[in-house]
Structures are given as C-alpha cells and as structure tokens.
Homo-oligomer: A and B are copies of this chain.
Amino acid sequence: MTELTSALAAALPDGRVLTDPDVVDSYARDRTFVPPGRPLGVVLAQSRDDVVATMRWASEHRVPVVPRGAGTGLAGGATAVDGCVVLSLARMTAIRELSPQDEIAVVEPGVITADLDRAAREHGLMYAPDPSSYEISTIGGNLATNAGGLRCVKYGVTRDSALGLEVVLADGRVLNTGRRTMKGVTGYDLTGLFVGSEGTLGVITAATVRLRRAPRELATVAAEFTSLRDAAAAVSAIVAAGCQPSMLELMDRTTLQAIDDWKNIGLEPSTRAMLIAQAEGSADEMAALCGAASFVAVSSTPEEAAELIGIRRLAYQAKERLGQCLVEDVCVPRSVLPEMITTIEEVAARHGVMIATVAHAGDGNVHPVFVFDRGLAEPPEEVWTAADEVFRAALDLGGTLTGEHGVGLLKKRWLGLETGPVAAELHQGIKQVFDPLNILNPGKAI
C-alpha cells in the first residue's frame, strides 16, 4: 500500500480496501472492450458510512472515484481511470424494507435486480425494470444508468420506479432526495437528476423504489419471419392496434444463429427474425397481427413462456461467444423502426461488418451489436465507421444515441451531435454544483 491508500484503509473498517494489482484489475472493467486505467485500489463498501469515509478521503486528497455495481454495464461507465479508487457497492445487498401496503421497497445499491423482483412477487407485486442482465446486474448500476429492459414498453424505465434516494455527495455529505409517496413535487427533481447520471453527481447508497402489482395472467406469442422488415412491421401493427404489450422483443438472424449454435433451439434455415410478445389478455390478437410470419405460436404455459423469454435474455451472451462486441443502443420513434432496421442491414453489408441486432422493439430501442475479432485491442476502423453511420441515421430519424445503456466512455465522441453546446454548458454547470473537484467518475457521461 502507498501512503495514500493506507490513509484510506485507516479511515475504514478492516478488509475494505484491496490493492493487489490482479484483484484490482478485476474491478477495473465493465462488460465493454474499453481498456481501463490503473486504479490505486478498490473499496468494497458495506455501509453508507464506508462510502462517506471514502468520499471524504477522496475529496481531501483529490482522488477520482469510480463507483460500480456488478460491472455489467455496456458503455464503459464503470471503467476505471488512472489513479482512481474503484468504489464497489456490490456488497451493500440489504433490502431494508418491503411494504406491500405502500407498494414500495427501500433497497441498497448492491441488491441484484432479479432478487428484488422475486422478493416483491412473494406479495403479488413486482419490481418492473428488468434489463436483460437482471440476474447479474444491481439496482445501483440500474439507477446509475437509468436502465431499461424488456418490460419497459409497459412499465417504464428505472427512473419511473425511483421515488427517492440516499446519496453520498462528492464531499461525503449525505443527501436524501424524493419521498416514500406515489406523488410529490417539493423542490427540483433531484431523484430524477441522479438517476442516469452514471456516477458523476453522487454515490447512491439506498433507493426507495416503487413496486407494481404483478399481472395476473400473461399471454406470450412467438413469431418467426423470413424478413426482418416484416417483423418490424408486425411490431408497428401490434402497437397501433392497442394491444399494450408488456414485452415486444425482436431478434435478427445473426442473433438467433448465435443462440442456436450455443443452445440448439432448432432454428429454421429460412427464419430471418423472431418476435416475442407478451401481454395481459390479447395473445390471439397479437398473433393475428403477425400475419406475414412463417410460424406463430401462442404459448400455453408459463414454463413455455419463461423458456422463450430465456432465449431472448441469452442473446448478448450468445453474441459474446462470436467475438468482441461493440454494442449500440439507439432508440427511434416507433413508426420508423423498419427504416432503422433496414439501415443497419445496409450498413453491415456496405462495410462487411457483422452486426447482430436485438431490439426492445415496442420502444423503438435497437441494439445493433458489432462483432469483431477477439484478438484486437479495439474495434477495427470499419466497425467504427459502421457504428458512426448507425448513430447518425438514428439521430436523422428523430432518435437518440442511447435508450438505456448510457453514454459512459463509449458514446462520448457522438454526444455533441445530440445535445448541442447550450445543453453541454448546463451539464458542466450542474456537475460543478455537485462535484466541484471533479472527482466523481471524471470524463464519463457528459
């Protein structure tokens, strides 16, 4: 340990600070290829007080702090920077309270998202936000990125379930934002400001989240198409008909092939796309709206539905088997989803790049995953060029760079295209208010 990290260790209970280079390295990355900087050490916080002590020390010594949950992020938001301390919240795993009467829970940031959902379901409730990674991601990471998921199309994103936060500020002071009530308009929306700020404004040490009534019965439809565009058209038809799906997921051939190679799902050679839709009630109507499909099935049991959705949740891991992945996360107005999908196919063909696409199609949120050789340190030039064209096409279609993953490091080079100079100046002003020394996840998100 250096003098600096010794001072940190002295300010914390025993065993909280790790400095072994190999161990530290394992806390320096998220799920992207982005090469991390070299941290001074890692703090494994177990309480709010640990976070307070860490931030006081960091402020005193001007040391950057990179907060992290489970490291499942896809934008480089939790990638370590040189000379930082990585502050892991993964050990703060208490569900402090779960009130079925008030339909809220108070949770620590290290709680695994799916664990909270399961705890809620014991009371007929659910925690709605469910990023694909929800069996391994944490609530804290979800809050930091304002994570989306499969059920967002009906229930909204993480911010829509966040009622209040306990936050440790850059200087170690503790702030409580928001409320325990369903509504509340006292003061500015600091809760909403922290959610999605990617660790640049404060460290969330607890959250009061909204639970929702779990649906009584869900019908699930799976449809296979011989063209991606037909599948995208079915999405528009299902939304326009008012089916109000709670899930409407699209996978392209490359994605399905990667899953089939791994799990042998019996993929037909002619299948170019699959749609998985779920709703309360209207399965037959949704199935009928997949008129152009080569195959449609309405699942008859919850087990069958879970299996289908399980296939979808495997998509990213299946692609990681093909090579390194640069994941985009563009979101467009729903009506132009077919155009977005077509553009992605054209870009892939033009540059000879492998792009495997999944989409939270009901939200217009498309994940083109650019697969490249595992031996390369970073994506080859043609991948960056293709990625650039997809980003610009999304913006031209009235869309956004990132629907749910965040900007992190990966999308900073395109940020200015979307936000412009006035917004950039205001972002810097807000950052200055919360973190005048610029020690919280510097260089990320804004």
> Which residues of A pack against B, CB within 8 Å?
99-104, 124, 145-146, 148, 152-153, 156-157, 159-160, 169, 173-177, 179-190, 192-193, 195-197, 201, 213, 216, 236, 239-240, 242, 244, 331-335, 360, 363-365, 398-407, 411, 415, 418-420, 422-423, 426-427, 429-430, 432-434, 445-446
Bound form: Cα–Cα A153–B103 in Å: 13
CB-based nearest B residue for A75: B185
A187 surroundings in chain B (CB, below 8 A)? 407, 415, 418-419, 423, 427, 445-446
Bound form: Cα–Cα A169–B403 in Å: 26
A196 to chain B, nearest CB (A): 5
Bound form: Cα–Cα A406–B184 in Å: 9
Bound form: Cα–Cα A183–B154 in Å: 12
Does the CB pair A185–B242 fall under 8 Å? no
Bound form: Cα–Cα A335–B174 in Å: 28
* In the A-B complex, the 4 residue pairs with the closest CB atoms: A429-B433, A101-B335, A192-B192, A184-B400
A213 surroundings in chain B (CB, below 8 A)? 242, 244
A335 surroundings in chain B (CB, below 8 A)? 99, 101-102
Could you list some 5 contacts between A and B, CB below 8 A? A99-B333, A157-B183, A157-B185, A181-B332, A184-B331
A420 surroundings in chain B (CB, below 8 A)? 176
CB-based nearest B residue for A196: B185
Interface centre among A192, A240, A446 (most CB of B within 10 A): A192
A197 surroundings in chain B (CB, below 8 A)? 188
CB-based nearest B residue for A398: B180
Bound form: Cα–Cα A263–B433 in Å: 53
Given contacts A104-B333, A183-B331, A404-B183, contact A190 B426 (CB under 8 A): yes
State which of B174, B239, B333 has its C-beta within 8 Å of the C-beta of A180.
Answer: B333
A184 surroundings in chain B (CB, below 8 A)? 331, 400, 402-403
A341 to chain B, nearest CB (A): 15
Bound form: Cα–Cα A186–B430 in Å: 15
Bound form: Cα–Cα A190–B434 in Å: 15
Bound form: Cα–Cα A161–B138 in Å: 27
Bound form: Cα–Cα A259–B317 in Å: 62
A127 to chain B, nearest CB (A): 16
CB-based nearest B residue for A436: B429
Does the CB pair A426–B175 fall under 8 Å? yes
